[in-house]
Structure formats: structure tokens, C-alpha cells
Amino acid sequence: MKARAISYVFVALLTMPSVTLSQVTTGPASDWASVVATQPGESLVVKLKDGRSVKGKLVRASDTILTLSSHNKNTDLTRGDVLKAQRIVATSAKKTTLIGLGIGVAAGAGLGATGSCRNGGFIGDCFAPSVTVPVGAVAGAGLGALAGFAIGKIRHKRVLIYETKQP
């Protein structure tokens, strides 16, 4: 009974959503030159002083105007309207793949331990735990690593490149 409860906890942990966006600050971001130095084509999220946010790919940036492209439409933003600019960068899937692998091994081993036949269990012919635990661990490892990789590929982080004081 304990093994089944533990395996349910591990499965629940595996299916919990991870934080998809995190913010990393890289030093003082009050200089507009960091916006101008950003390469065209990079994804940006710009928060405006009126509370709106604009997301798109950088077309060009000058000392006074920032142009973003979203859905084949260019949007010009003046420097005075921009409250905060963040660059969106992809993260590595390595860490989430390894976490998913570990959780999958534990969950698979737990399910394998509960899946062995005791008093006419659900597996028709009874298998010894020495068979079901490793098989469950390997299957869980594969599924967990796959889920962790998928989560890691959709995660992005926001890097603050410019921020001004609110009016």
C-alpha cells in the first residue's frame, strides 16, 4: 500500500507544471544602448508605460524608436513609451530531462512493485517483483525523460535589457 501511495506522489510530481517563464537580471538595465545593441530577429517583450505589453521580433532599434514585428505587422514604439524591455531566450532541456528521468525511474519502480501479482493481482500470470520493478523503472525512465525534455523545450526565460522608472 505504501509503495502505491509513493508511486502516485511521484506521478503527480511528474505531471505538475513547471515555471515556464523566469526573469534574470544582468546588471544595470537603465541604459537604452542595450536595446539598440540587440540583434534584429531576437524576440522581445516590451511593457509600455500605459500598462500594455507588446511581444514580437526586433526589426530595428534606434536612439528614439523601437520597431517590433508580430504577425507580419510592424509596431513602432517610442523610447519615452517603453517602461521595460525583456529579451526572450530558450533554456536548456538538459536539467528538466534529468529531473523527468529521475522521477520516471522512481514512479516506474513504485508502480512495478505494486504491479506484481499478489493473491490473484491484475496481471493474469504472476510475475516476481524482481521482474516488474526493473521493467517499470526502465519504462518510467523513458516516459519521464521524454516528458522532461518536452517541458524543457517549451520553457523560456526573460532577460531584462532595459527598465526605466515609472512615471
Give the pLDDT of residue 96.
92
In the predicted structure, residue 103 carries a pLDDT above the cut 90:
yes
- Averaged pLDDT, 113-119: 65
98 and 86 in a common domain: no
Residue 23: pLDDT band (50, 70, 90) is very low
147 and 107 in a common domain: yes
139 and 107 in a common domain: yes
pTM of the predicted model, to two decimals?
A: 0.56
For 8, 127, 131, the CA distances from 103, given in Å and listed in that order, are: 11, 24, 20
- Averaged pLDDT, 19-47: 72
Closest CA to 147 of 22, 16, 20, 21: 16
- Averaged pLDDT, 152-156: 88
Full residue range of the structural domain in which residue 131 is found: 2-18+92-154
Contact 24, 158 (CB under 8 A): yes
Residue 116: pLDDT band (50, 70, 90) is low
Q: What's the number of domains the chain is made of?
A: 2
Residue 97's SS3 state is: helix
139 and 98 in a common domain: yes
CATH for 54: 2.30.30.100
In the predicted structure, residue 7 carries a pLDDT above the cut 80:
no
Largest CA distance in the chain: 77
96 and 84 in a common domain: no
Contact 97, 71 (CB under 8 A): no
Strand-pairing partners, residue 158, are 23, 88
Instruction: Give dist(CA 8, CA 103) in Å, integer.
Output: 11
